[in-house]
Structure 1
Amino acid sequence: MAKLYVGDLHADVTNLDLFNAFIECEGLEAVLVCRDSSTGRSLCYGYVKFYHHDYAERAIEVKNHSTLKGKAIRVSWPRRDSDVRRSKPAYVFIKNLNDTIDSAKLEEIFQKFGNILSCKVAVSEDGRSKGCGFVQFETEDSASAAIEELNESEVGGKQIYVGKPSPDEIYTNLFIKNLDLDISEEHLREKCSEFGKIISLGIPKDKNGGSKGSGYVNFENPDDARRAVEAMNESKLGCKILHVARAQQKTERKGVTRKEDRQAQSQLNHAQGFAGPTGSSA
């Protein structure tokens, strides 16, 4: 294997830009920025091919987390989409990071525990660290070892907290409601691919083959999914305002519904306790 995956590309990066970014690496053979087949718009990821595995391995060391057109890019060995869908996410979530720790330093801290598939420090729009991040390992054993050794340890002068993320902290699946009925999967893919690589996407159909007005998107990277929620929720697509959020499991939705029902009943009981027969205060 001498081909590398390059993610988190700026939408304006061209094949020439990608080639120039890697020309310093020995053994460069070819590059490709992946684009939507119908619109030609960048899918914000691509591939770089080398003549030998050793050249590719060295390129990861040199170019991973480097900057291209103002964005830190992610360089790694490629994984097939089927592998991503079958694998169980082995994420760890890190809080209370020193603001001097970027994604490259975070990966350096965690790499001794096993093969890292992705690593990201959350940043604000001005590029400043939010003091938290995530690491996705290839195996659950690696994630467990990292938690056991680094949780409540001191890194960069601050005590960090490392643990398994809650669903609200790390997610890749999004549910989209209030879609125009004439929005196609191709149109939705074009819109969502602005934020990163998509593993799967669909719009459920009714018995007549028409859209049900909702859809789902599964991103490869949780940071891309989070950015998609922030950008697309309450935005307009077609003639309607979208509602975009983390996709919840059926058991989660039932739990939320039961909680809302209990809250509503509690408020009703409270109101009845303070109101007279005519609805005025007792």
Structure 2
Amino acid sequence: MSSIQCQLWMGSLESYMTEAFILAAFRKMGEDPSTVKLMRNKYTGDPAGYCFVSFKTDDAALDAMHKLNGKPIPGTNPLVRFRLNSATNNQHRALLADREFSVWVGDLSSDVDDYSLYRVFSTKYTSIKTAKVILDSSGFSKGYGFVKFGLEDEQKNALYDMNGFIGLGSKPLKICNAVPKPKSELGLAAGSGTSATS
């Protein structure tokens, strides 16, 4: 059985999406998950609207998340987009939260997705945990995103080294510190739970 670190959570599932359908969708997109576990309502037996997708390695799971998040799921009509996140339990997430440091990345051109943002930063920094381009309700980039680091020194270096970086999309990048929103704002915000500061 895969460890929880080799799993992705997938949400916004429609009732017709079976484990075989989800597995086939990942494979059509060039990914090779080991298993899909569709979660069900324990009282009714109906699909709960989410599943866990297991991969052989952590890197394969992270790559799939960054490549597919926000992209259309093959075979859906009307169109449904992949909604993926790493599957860590809340206790594990709380332990990691103290060791995560983020930057806000602005002036992203429309061709930049999670995967390309992740690849550019992960080739320069070893502690990259996630990269996320923020999308509007139609699935189009809002022109900014967030990159999460495991090491504060790398996050601080990125604030200077990556500001003005050319080579991702068609515009130089703008980088600034990203800080968590106060808890009172999180319930009202539809964003990622972080905001930019200069």
* Matching residue of 1:46: 52
| Residue 121 (structure 2) pairs with residue 110 (structure 1) | yes
Structure 2 residue matching 1:7: 3-state secondary structure: strand
Structure 2: gaps (5+ residues)? 194-198
The structure showing larger relative contact order (alpha-carbon pairs under 8 Å, at least 6 residues apart) is 2
One-letter amino acid matched to 2:111: T
1:71 to 70, 76, 81: 81
CA contact (8 A) 1:65 1:75 kept: no
1:11 is matched with 13
Deviation at 1:97, TM superposition (A): 1.0
Q: Is the aligned partner of 1:153 residue 2:157? A: no
Q: Deviations over 1:205-256 (max 9, x none)?
A: xxxxxxxxxxxxxxxxxxxx6259xxxxxxxxxxxxxxxxx7xxxxxxxxxx
Partners of 2:146 and 2:136 lie apart in 1 by 15
Identity of aligned residues (%): 20
Specify the SS of the correspondent of 2:190. Answer: helix
TM-score normalised by L of structure 1: 0.50
Letter aligned with residue 135 of structure 1: V
Q: What letter corresponds to residue 104 of structure 1 in structure 2?
A: Y
**Among 138, 148, 154, the residue aligned to 2:150:** 138
Q: Distance in 1 between matches of 2:112 and 2:43?
A: 40
Say whether the 8 Å CA contact 1:64–1:73 is kept in structure 2.
no
Matches within 5 A, 1:161-200: 161-168=174-181, 174-175=186-187
| TM-score normalized by the length of structure 2 | 0.67
* 1:84 matches 2:93: yes
The amino acid across from 1:19 in the alignment is L
> Partners of 1:137 and 1:159 in 2: how far apart?
21
Equivalent position SS for 1:158: coil
Question: Does the alignment pair 1:93 with 2:104?
Answer: yes
Give the structure with the larger helix fraction: 1
Instruction: Give the deviation of 1:125 after TM superposition.
Output: 2.1
SS in 2 for 1:148: helix
In the alignment of these two chains, the number of paired residues is 174
- Alignment check: 8 A CA contact 2:23 2:33 kept: no
Give distance in 2, aligned partners of 1:97 and 1:162: 11
Structure 1 window deviating more from structure 2 (15-24 vs 141-150): it is 15-24
SS, match of residue 99 in structure 1: coil
What is the deviation of 1:27?
7.8
Query: Following TM superposition, by how much is the alpha carbon of 1:149 offset from its aligned partner in structure 2, in angstroms?
Result: 1.2
* Structure-2 separation of matches of 1:173 and 1:17: 37
State the match for 2:139 in structure 1. 127
Supply the RMSD in Å over aligned alpha carbons: 3.5
- 3-state SS of the aligned residue for 2:159? helix
Q: Report the Cα distance in structure 2 between the residues aligned to 1:146 and 1:164, rounded to whole angstroms.
A: 10
What is the alpha-carbon distance in structure 1 between the residues aligned to residue 121 and residue 183 of structure 2?
Answer: 20
Question: Contact (CA 8 Å) 1:121, 1:134: kept in 2 or not?
Answer: yes
Structure 1: distance between partners of 2:113 and 2:85: 15
Kindly name which structure, 1 or 2, has the bigger radius of gyration based on alpha carbons.
Answer: 1
Separation in 1, partners of 2:164, 2:183: 24
